[in-house]
Structure 1
C-alpha cells in the first residue's frame, strides 16, 4: 500500500490528505507547528494517517505533497526531498512571502525557483491552481464522465507520469502543461487559475470562498492555458 507524505497541513494539504485516505493510501503529515498540533486532523483521518516530523513525512513516503508558504521551502533541511517525487502547490504572494526579485523581474517562474531550492527532487507543479474547498467537491471516481482535470508541469517526463498516476488515484484527471517555464499559465491571476473551476467564472474575488465549482474537462483547461498571457507579478499586491 503506497504512502503519501504531506508537508503542510493547511487547507490544501489537509484536503489532499483526505483524498489519499479515501483512495486507500497511508498518509504521514508534518507541519511547522509540531505533531501535537495535528492531533485533531489525524483523528478525523483515521488509522491510515499519522503525524510526523518533516523528515518522517519525507523518508516514509513514495511521493510527497509540498504545501507550505513559498519562502518556507528554503528552510527545509538540505536534501530532505532528494530522490522523491514532489507535488508542489506553491504560489507567490508578496504580502505573505515578501518581494522576491527574480520573480518580480520575470526571469524565472515560481516553480523553477522552488525546483532549484529542492535540488535533487523529482519536482512536479500540481494542485496550485484550484481552491482548497473545491478539491473535495470536484473529486470523482475513475470512470466518472464528469471528472475534472488538473494541469501538471515538470522538467522530468517520468516524474509527470508518476504524478499523473497519483493524482488520478486521488480523483482527478491530469493535463500535461509542459515544463516549469510554462507554469505561469496556471498561477494566480492567470487564465488557468481557479476560475476555470467555477460554475460562474465572473464571481467577484470576495466571493470566491463561497463559490460553486463546476466539473472542468481537459479541453476547457487546455483552452485556458493556451489563451493565458503572463502576469506581471511585480504588480501583484495580494
Structure 2
C-alpha cells in the first residue's frame, strides 16, 4: 500500500482523499490549519483518511498531491519534499491567488514554476483539469460513474515518475492521456479546450492536440 499525502483540505483535496481511500491507498491530508480543525470534516467525508500536519503528510507520503491555492506552493518546505514525486493539481485563480504577474505568463505552464521551486523533486501536472464534482462522480469507484470511462491528462518530464502517477490515476478509476513534457501542461490550464473536460480518452486527446495545432505531440510513454 502506497501512502498519498495531500496538501489542501478544500473541496478538491477532500474529493481526492475520498477517491484515493476507495482505491486502497493510505491517505494523509493536511491544511494550513491545525489538524484538529479539519479532523471532524475528514472523519465524516473521508473516514479512512487521516488529518495530519503538513510536515507529517510530507514526511510519511510516497507521493504528494498539491491541492492548495497555487499562490501558496512556496509555503511548502522544499527540502522536506526532496526526491519526492509531487502531483501538481493546482490552477491559478485571480479571485483566490490575487494578481500575480509571474502566474499570468501564458507561454509557460504554471507547473514549470512549481518545478523550478521544487528543484530536487519531480513535479507532474495532473488532476487539475477536471472539476472536483466530476472527479467524484466519474471515477469508476463511484456508484454514479458513467459506463464510458473518463480520462485524466498527465504532463511531466520524467518517464518513471509519470508511470507512477499514471498507475495512481488508473487506480482512481480513470483512463490517462500522457503529454510529452511538463511544459505541455500549459494545454491543461484555464482557458484551454481541455480545462474542465469531462470526456473519454479519444476526445481529451483531440482537445489537447488542437490547442495549438502543429506544435505538439502526445507522449510516447502512455
TM-score bracket, shorter-length normalisation: 0.7 to 0.9
- Alignment TM-score, normalising by the size of structure 1: 0.82
**How far does residue 99 in structure 1 lie from its aligned partner after superposition?**
2.9
Q: Which residue of 2 aligns with 1:221?
A: 204
Does the alignment pair 1:147 with 2:149?
Answer: yes
Q: Which residue of 1 aligns with 2:218?
A: none
How well do the aligned residues superpose, as a CA RMSD in angstroms?
1.8
The partner residue of 2:167 within 139, 158, 165 is 165
Q: SS in structure 2 opposite 1:176?
A: strand
Q: Which residue of 2 aligns with 1:177?
A: 179
Give me the whole-angstrom Cα distance separating, in 2, the residues matched to 1:41 and 1:105.
Answer: 36
Unaligned runs of at least 5 residues, structure 1: 198-215, 231-238
Larger helix proportion of the pair:
1
Q: Which residue of 2 aligns with 1:91?
A: 91
Q: C-alpha deviations, 1:139-187, integer Å up to 9, x for none?
A: 115xx96211100001111111000001111111111022121112111
Alpha-carbon contact 1:191-1:229 (below 8 Å) kept? no
Q: C-alpha deviations, 1:48-71, integer Å up to 9, x for none?
A: 321111110011111111111111
Q: Which residue of 2 aligns with 1:137?
A: 137
Alpha-carbon contact 2:7-2:13 (below 8 Å) kept? yes
Q: C-alpha deviations, 1:6-30, integer Å up to 9, x for none?
A: 1101111100100111112111111
Give me the whole-angstrom Cα distance separating, in 1, the residues matched to 2:127 and 2:94.
Answer: 20
Give me the whole-angstrom Cα distance separating, in 1, the residues matched to 2:70 and 2:105.
Answer: 17
- Alignment TM-score, normalising by the size of structure 2: 0.87
